[in-house]
Amino acid sequence: MNALTFTLKKTLQHSLNCAELTPSNLANKLVTEIGSTLLQYGKAKLRVDEIFEITGNDTQNIYFKNSTEKLDYLGANMTSGTMQIEGNVGAYLGFGLKQGKINCYGNTAAFAACNMAGGLLEISGNTGDFLGGASAGLRKGMHGGVVIVKGNAADRVGDQMRRGLILIEGSVGEYCGSRMIAGTIGVLGDTGKFIGFNMQRGTLLLTKIPKLHATIQDCGMHTLPFLSLLFKSFKQYNTKFSDIKSQRIQRFSGDLACNGNGEILLISP
Amino acid sequence: MMKINNIIIDDTFAEAFNMRGTRVLITAQNLKWAYHAANAMTGFATSVIGCGVEAGIERELSGDETPDGRPGVSILMFAMGSKVLMQQLETRMGQCILTCPTAAAFAGIESEDQISLGKHLRYFGDGFQTSKVIRDVNGMAKRYWRIPVMDGEFLTEETTGMVRAIGGGNFLILATSQPAALQAAENAVEAMKQVRNVIMPFPGGVVRSGSKVGSKYPKMFASTNDAFCPTLKGVTNTELSADIESVMEIVIDGLTFEDIAASMRVGIEAICDLGEASGVKRISAGNYGGKLGPHHFKLHDIMGKSNS
């Protein structure tokens, strides 16, 4: 069986909602059935085969080619299988992802891993604002799973994040870990202003000295035993974080403005 | 009659009971402190009759075998019921592991039945405790608690598994002198320590005060096993011949019947290797007529049918 491949064959003017094109939704469907599935395109609905050339038949392994930033909600609510995306993607990549694996070999727009509950999302390029955040109106963001970003992430990474792991090998924008409830975010590159703003719990793992606001307080240098377990767990992922060995950290706690018990751990080289 | 190296193996059996068991991995900065923690946790845990649980150190662990990469020891703990086991585990975790410098505790056994390891102990953190869900190398998510303490942070897994187990496997060493019986017991225990999934919960793995059920005193539900007491040979229905001057017992708790049987075999073999010249004359076992415990460890089955 060959991976079910969707090759974008037209230039899109509007956003296309691709939430229907997941392994669980397409399981046991024939290519003709898949081609007749309707997708929301701006205000209109278009058939899948009007937009994509469809080849292959393995619905548990889906491949998108020629993807652009107009493709939204790729891998939304996925519960099984794998998805690989060649090119950039739009907003809400891996929205509500529960199980399975998504690889994006490009950049993504905002809200990647929004409401994510499980599984693995790997982004080779950069990603937009609110990575692992909550969708509008919800009070809890990502609550499970693992996100690995090889490039940079924009503002508000892990906003209201409840659980799970986000590893960013590049830099992040402002308000990283804002309103974070729990979970772990790692950043190898630089971090923007107001990191951990209104953070309640959770861990921000950094390798470069952050710009801290007044209500994040220094708790000194320590050797924390749990880090050996955390670093050992990183070895199962394709990430530079698995190279970290030092358990020696400087611990900052906060955000004291909201009686927060979160922590920023600055790893000593 | 079965004899191995001229040591008689009685045609009898050890009678054992159903128990609940768990395993906890204790790690620390070095083995010295891991042993301090483990010895405290398994202290006063020789018999469920008076201690609530029977516990012991199963084996040493290298850094490659522990979740946090530090050296440690695994301990096994057994009780007659799940409720007692849970209570004892929590109490001992709080008083012996939480208090021990650099010590950390991890689950040592997988099971659907989970009991609290640090789940309730976390409240010692007075609101400063934090949990962390970390996936192990198999991708299995486990919750850990980090409790701030004066030496840094106490790390413990939230729960550990609880399994059905067996307690009360035993055999008796009958020798011509007390030193001979004790030396044979020591040899047996050293050999039995190499067997996994079992512990010998008594001091040094050996018990000198084997008991029988009941007593002439109504409030006592166990009393000295007079049939095996050498000083009572002339006044009781003795099991001992004239040349037996001392009897030692080794009690074994284990996760499965096979584990205990393997341990008994290894222990008895170690004694028989000493030969008759060591002063050991017979190997026997303690039972209650087969009416109380569902697990019968028949010495002849365990040691094979071949006579030497």
DSSP state of B57: E
Are the C-beta atoms of residues A192 and A176 closer than 8 Å to each other?
Answer: yes
Degrees, nearest 5: CA angle B71-B72-B75: 165
| Ranges under pLDDT 50 in chain A | none
pLDDT for the residue B221:
84
Contacts A203 to B, Cβ<8 Å? 130, 132
Contacts A229 to B, Cβ<8 Å? 67-68, 134, 144, 155
CATH class for the domain made up of B2-15+165-303: alpha beta
Radius of gyration of the CA atoms of chain B, in A: 21
pLDDT of residue B291 exceeding 90, the answer is no
Q: Which two tokens stand for residue B96?
A: 């012996």
- Average predicted confidence (pLDDT) for chain B: 95
pLDDT tens figures, B226-277: 999 999 999 999 999 999 999 999 999 999 999 999 999 999 999 999 999 9
**Shortest CA distance to B308 belongs to which of B5, B51, B90?**
B5
Degrees, nearest 5: CA angle A9-A11-A14: 125
Cβ <8 Å between A229 and B134? yes
Cβ <8 Å between A223 and B152? yes
Q: Which two tokens stand for residue A218?
A: 């220094």
Say what the ipTM of the complex is: 0.91
Closest partner CB to A236 (pick from B69, B139, B152): B139
**Which run of H or E residues covers position A251?**
strand A248-254
List chain B domain ranges. Answer: 2-15+165-303, 20-163
Are the C-beta atoms of residues B118 and B158 closer than 8 Å to each other?
Answer: yes
Indicate the pairing of strand A143-149 with strand A163-168: parallel
Domains B2-15+165-303 and B20-163 share a fold: yes
Cβ <8 Å between B153 and A222? yes
pLDDT for the residue B138:
82
Reduce the DSSP state of residue B269 to 3 states and report it.
Answer: helix
pLDDT of residue B308 exceeding 80, the answer is no
Q: Was domain B20-163 assigned CATH 3.40.640.10?
A: no
pLDDT for the residue B306:
46
List chain A domain ranges. Answer: 110-267
pLDDT for the residue B139:
83
Q: Which of residues 71-90 of B touch A (CB under 8 A)?
A: none
In one-letter notation, the amino acid at residue B182 is L
* Total residue count of chain B as it appears in this document: 308
pLDDT of residue B189 exceeding 70, the answer is yes
Cβ <8 Å between B134 and A230? yes
Residue B126, chain A, CB below 8 Å: the answer is no
Chain A residues interacting with chain B (CB cutoff of 8 angstroms): 146, 163, 182, 184, 201, 203, 222-226, 228-230, 232-233, 235-236, 261, 263
pLDDT of residue B156 exceeding 60, the answer is yes
Contacts A225 to B, Cβ<8 Å? 68, 70, 104, 152-153, 155
Contacts B105 to A, Cβ<8 Å? none
